[in-house]
Amino acid sequence: METNFITNLAGMHKNHAFLQSMFEELKLSIWYMSVEDASFWISSEAARLYGYSQKGLENNLLLWQEFVFSEDRPIVERHRQQLLSSSPSTVEYRIIQSDGTVRWVQETANSLKDEHGKVVLYTGIVLDITKQKKADLQLAEWEEQYRQFIELSSSSIFLCQAETVVYANNTALQAVEVSHAKELVGRPLEAIFLPQEAGVLRDQLDKVVKGEQPPARNIKVRMHNGKTMYVELRAVPALFDGKLTVMVVGKEEPEGDQLPKFSAKASSPLQSMEKGLPETSDIFYYEEKDSPVCRNRELLQSGIKSPAIVNAEKSIKYEDFYDYLTGLPNRSGLHVRLCDEILRASALSKSFAVLLLNLDRFKVVNDTLDHTAGDLLLKEVTIRLKSSIYDNDMIFRQSGDEFLIVLRDADRAVASNVAKRILDALSAPFTIQNHRILTSASIGISLFKEDGETAEDLIKHADSAMCQAKKAGKNTYKFYFSKDGGFKLNPLKMEIDLYKAIERDELSLHYQPKVNLKTGNIVGFEALLRWKHPDWGLLPPASFIPFAEETGLIIPIGKWALYHACKQNKQWHQKGYLTVIAVNLSVRQLIQPDFAATVAGVLQETELEPRYLELEIIGSISEDADRILSALKQLKNLGVQISMDDFGTEFSSLHYLKQFPVDTLKIDQSFIRELRHNPDEEAIVKNIILMAHNLKLNVIAEGIETEEQLLFLQQHLCDEGQGYFFSPPLPADEIENTFSKVQQLMKKHGLPEDVNERMWVRELLDRAKQEMQETIRLQQGMTFKFKKIHDQFIHTLCDGELLYRMGLTPSQVVGKVLYDFMPPKAAADKEKSYRRAWEEEEVVTYESMINGIDYLSVLCPVKKGGKVVEVIGSAVDITDRKQVEEALQESEEKYRLIADNMTDLICLLDSSGHVVYTSPSHTTVLGYPQEELGGDKTIAKIHPEDVEFFQQEVKQIIETNHSSQVEFRFLHADGRWLLIECVGTPVLGENGAVEHVVMVGRDITEKRKAEELLLKSEKLTVVGELAAGVAHEIRNPLTSIKGFVQLLQQGMIKEEFFKVIMEEFDRVECIIKEFLTLAKPQEIQLRKININKVLEDVETLLRSEAYLQNVQILHETKQFIPSFMCDPNQIKQVFINLLKNSIEAMPDGGVVHIRSSIEGPNVLITIVDNGMGIKEDRIQKLGEPFYSNKEKGTGLGLMLCFRIIRQHKGTIVFKSKENEGTTVEVRLPLFDRASS
């Protein structure tokens, strides 16, 4: 019919006005698209179904992608493609209307062609099939349940058509002993039963097929396999595959003689009861000994079962749809029953109410006592809830501590009365496991149709109202549309007004003081939001914050509150009140990606120090724990404080409490309210305080209203308090007047100051003892104590990680003597040290080993009254040290021969400059025995004119942590003065400071005489100077290497020694290379170069070396430099040498700046470092042949640099200060492009 109707539209496709008027008049859900002008039109009925306006749908052809379920979008896309290919298509899919309602729609679309076969219109009809879909889903669910009942039945069930079996359940297959239904289906009755028995069955079945209704009969028949089966025939024909079918229900012969019967007496009242139920209801009949009978309009089944089987089959459906603990229907059946109630109420034009109830403190009871107590409490709550509602009302267990109640035919007044009745019923204490437990509930109420017309909306809005009840202080109820105060808080209006609240300056903050319960001083305030609505007056946060949470307006509102609270606190600070301001923070705000940056910005703008801001987390944080943990860590990095609000209600997991960076716990006011009235509540509060202090957390109690509550909290050492007893929340200008009043209240009603002080001192001592025990237990070493009792040393304490690594535990040591847990010989040796410490009253140290672990122990006697009363011992693991000592001892022999035969002088000085070691070569070279050269004796033998110079050099080595070379005169034992050349190298200790200086020297008296003769000789050639210099330069590193080898021989092995040795080998190699280069001067090969490119190449070559020395090379070009003529290879060599000198001059790292610029007719290249620098007297003679043969870095390489620059008609200038760095200026002549 729909297709014909669409086809007939082809002739009218150009008359759009007529078509649209006709469709609107007929109220058809239809749309069409004209191919000719590409216009799209949709009827108002179809737009209403989609939940959007006509114009919105007509102007945005892709709007369907927003309201079609994401899973169904591929289906709709294929539907559109099929339509565009001119093929008709019908599709079913789900949509989400603009108000959030989910609907099922069926769309039939086709293309319309004109008389020439050309497509002129695409059109479609849309139908709402939501009810049909729900019915189909429910029917499928029921059919699946029936199939499971039949398959799981212990009776054999056969369906027969025309004397042929068409179906058999699992039990029937087992009875006949076939493995698959295919072996049985389609076969006659004679294939199962003996012929004579099959005949009896056939006669009975014929009567049923003919329409007769013979009474139910129980027939005993035999089968081919020899088994006996009881068959019950009932006159209930059913359709199977569209054909009349008769059911045969059988049971193998049970033990006993009599087959129980379903009595007529029992069936009569049940049948009459059945008439009052819906036709589609599932009906179960049970008798004490009879089989269950499952009946509906099409099927009646009966069998004979044992009580255990009956109970199992009953539980098949029961466990799926009922809560095992309370016996209430669970949420599996909630949706279906609520939808049925919606259909019933709609048909009868009735209203009903949905009440969502959440127990306020169930989690606390569950965690404080145990889960068994929690389960018993839920059962007791269920009993009271049932007694508070009518028989025709429905109650479900929604989740852990949530219940949902459906009040049939209820309006607002009825719902209010029932809610009050429930709260009254729950107000009386529960007695669970000898505990008196007080609990309450927060109830949210939504009304059909006022608050929603779907199950989803009603539950959602009831949940929202329940959150309002929680915010209002719990133990109350709220409607989704609250009528508190005589007006109606319409959520839509509230959302609209909230958008404008900030710009209208309608929001404000009230402040409630937080009081230190030890000192009585105000230490902070909690900022509480208020909304001065133009129509409704001053609203508390509980009335509008839930809406702000749902709509996302909590983000801008929360930022506003945070800014103004910080700003106000900064103003108080300027007046001298150093208070902490607490601002409530919802989880939704917390997980915003940029929230930490928002807080940082507010703190910066208001100039408030982070430590004076406390963020109180409200709501459950367990749902998105990972994101919340990350956000809290970011906030803690800012330095703000974090507290948990309403502890004991929403937040009660110790796992998260230990994991999150929390500073303060805020005990929920519902616990404080019951103090001095309920011992169980007091126990909970005391445990929370104790737990928080053990976790090193601050505790604040909110809701203090009486003197008794204050005293209880002080007596149990609660840190801070807040409540109306001190002050209600007030505006900022009024709250300042409460400072002195609060202190007076504390003095008048609180504990006496001296009592309070003693309690806190005792608490601090207990905490210190606990921390000490934890410190001893967690230390890496071991601490122990012992006393002498009856001439035996009994251990009274022993703990620490070392103890466990020894394979022992405290219980094996404490209360025992050494012989109880150690071998006799080891115990006897150790007992000697124990006795020495006890009797000789001195500190005793000893080394020992247990289970392969070497350890060092120190025993300190403790005296009282002049007598030793106990000994405290401390032990550390020295296993690694022992292994190193053994390795050193083994290596000592290897180096002893080398050290004894070296002629170089090796001397070790301490940080004060005193000699602590001299090598055997001192006796050979200087003529003194070693014992005459220790301490200050060596300094006394240095020439008086050189002593100060020597000491200054040693001091410089220690202070700068750099090696240095020094020459001085030393008195030989025979009276001669020797010239000694030494290289001093600092040795660092574990703390990074210089502990020793190694001086490696040699006698250069004869060498210096020869040098002086050579310098005076006018015939000395450059070649001779080079040869002497090279020999000298090579000898320096070799001397240093020999010195360190002797130290290694002495057993002084340090990683730094090997590093220095390798550096000296590299230096030898470099000197040889430079000498070869200098010995073979090459002719300059001039060509045009880009100086910046050359410098970049040099930087690239030295980058890795600089990186290893932690040196950064920065190349700066101030202006454009044209190319000029020079030898690129030789110029590269110059800058390589200069940069290497700079790098070597910065052993601790630094920066080298390279700058190139034009200076008149020259190119100026400047190299600047912040290294150790060069002495002034040596700068004057840099570049002369081996003038500087006493110092690294100014030898052959610099000679080569000076020669190359002179060959290029340039200059090179050095500027330097010791310990401040060196600047090298290289100038090369610049030729213009024409001349080059």
Task: Decide if 748 contacts 726 (C-beta within 8 A).
Answer: no
If you average pLDDT over residues 860-889, what whole number do you get?
A: 84
The three-class DSSP label of residue 505 is: coil
What is the structure's pLDDT at 596? 92
Paired tokens of 1135: 């800058």
Q: Where are the domains of the chain?
A: 2-128, 135-257+278-321, 331-481, 511-526+552-753, 785-875, 882-1072, 1082-1229
Distance CA 982, CA 964 (A): 8
Q: φ, ψ for residue 231 (rounded to 5)?
A: -115, 130
Pairing of strands 641-647, 664-667: parallel
Instruction: Answer with the residue of higher pLDDT: 985 or 1076.
Output: 985
Q: φ, ψ for residue 1093 (rounded to 5)?
A: -65, -40
User: Is the pLDDT reported for residue 828 higher than 60?
Assistant: yes
Please give the single-letter amino acid code of residue 929: P
Where residue 1192 falls among pLDDT bands split at 50, 70, 90? very low
What is the structure's pLDDT at 225? 62
Distance CA 3, CA 1024 (A): 117
What is the structure's pLDDT at 1168? 93
Q: HSE on the CB side for 93, CA within 13 Å?
A: 26
Q: φ, ψ for residue 617 (rounded to 5)?
A: -80, 125
Model-level pTM?
0.39
- Nearest C-alpha neighbor of 46 from the set 70, 65, 73, 64: 64
Distance CA 58, CA 600 (A): 47
Instruction: Answer with the residue of higher pLDDT: 751 or 309.
Output: 751
* Cβ contacts of 808 within 8 Å, gap of 6 or more: 798, 821, 850
Q: Select the highest-mean-pLDDT range: 261-275, 334-348, 890-904, 1068-1082.
A: 334-348
Task: Decide if 39 contacts 122 (C-beta within 8 A).
Answer: no
User: Is the pLDDT reported for residue 442 higher than 90?
Assistant: yes
Preceding omega of 575 cis (within 30 degrees of 0): no
What does the DSSP 8-state code read for residue 374?
A: H
Distance CA 1116, CA 1224 (A): 15
What does the DSSP 8-state code read for residue 258?
A: -
Domain 1082-1229: CATH superfamily, name plus number: Histidine kinase-like ATPase, C-terminal domain (3.30.565.10)
Pick the CATH number of 882-1072 from 3.30.450.20, 3.40.50.920, 3.40.50.300, 3.40.50.720: 3.30.450.20
The three-class DSSP label of residue 146 is: helix
Pick the CATH number of 511-526+552-753 from 3.20.20.450, 3.40.50.10490, 1.10.150.120, 3.40.50.300: 3.20.20.450
β partners of residue 982: 966, 1001
Where residue 310 falls among pLDDT bands split at 50, 70, 90? very low
Paired tokens of 980: 């000694």
If you average pLDDT over residues 837-862, what whole number do you get?
A: 87
Distance CA 524, CA 515 (A): 7
User: Is the pLDDT reported for residue 145 higher than 80?
Assistant: no
The CATH topology of domain 135-257+278-321 is: Beta-Lactamase (3.30.450)
The three-class DSSP label of residue 987 is: strand
């019933």: which residue's tokens?
344
Give, to the nearest 10 degrees, the angle between helix 738-749 and helix 707-715.
Answer: 70
Strand ranges (E), 745-866 = 782-789, 792-799, 844-850, 853-864
Transcribe 950-974 into DSSP letters. Answer: HHHHHHHHHHHT--EEEEEEEE-TT
What does the DSSP 8-state code read for residue 155?
A: S
**What pLDDT, in 10s, does the model give residues 609-661?**
999 999 998 876 666 678 888 899 999 999 999 998 877 654 445 666 777 88
Number of helical H runs and strand E runs in the chain = 43, 46
Domain 331-481 has CATH 3.40.190.10: no
* Cβ contacts of 944 within 8 Å, gap of 6 or more: none
- Cβ atoms within 10 Å of 1084's Cβ, excluding its own: 14
């012992």: which residue's tokens?
786
Task: Decide if 1001 contacts 904 (C-beta within 8 A).
Answer: yes
Q: Select the highest-mean-pLDDT range: 141-145, 197-201, 384-388, 887-891.
A: 384-388
Work out the mean pLDDT of the chain and round it to a whole number. 78
If you average pLDDT over residues 527-551, what whole number do you get?
A: 82
**What pLDDT, in 10s, does the model give residues 39-79?**
888 888 888 888 878 888 888 877 777 788 777 888 888 88
Transcribe 623-647 into DSSP letters. Answer: TTHHHHHHHHHHHHHHT-EEEEEEE
Q: Do domains 2-128 and 882-1072 have the same CATH topology?
A: yes
CATH number for the domain formed by residue range(s) 785-875:
3.30.450.20
Pairing of strands 476-479, 441-448: parallel
Distance CA 964, CA 950 (A): 11
CATH number for the domain formed by residue range(s) 2-128:
3.30.450.20
* Cβ contacts of 759 within 8 Å, gap of 6 or more: 714, 715, 717, 751
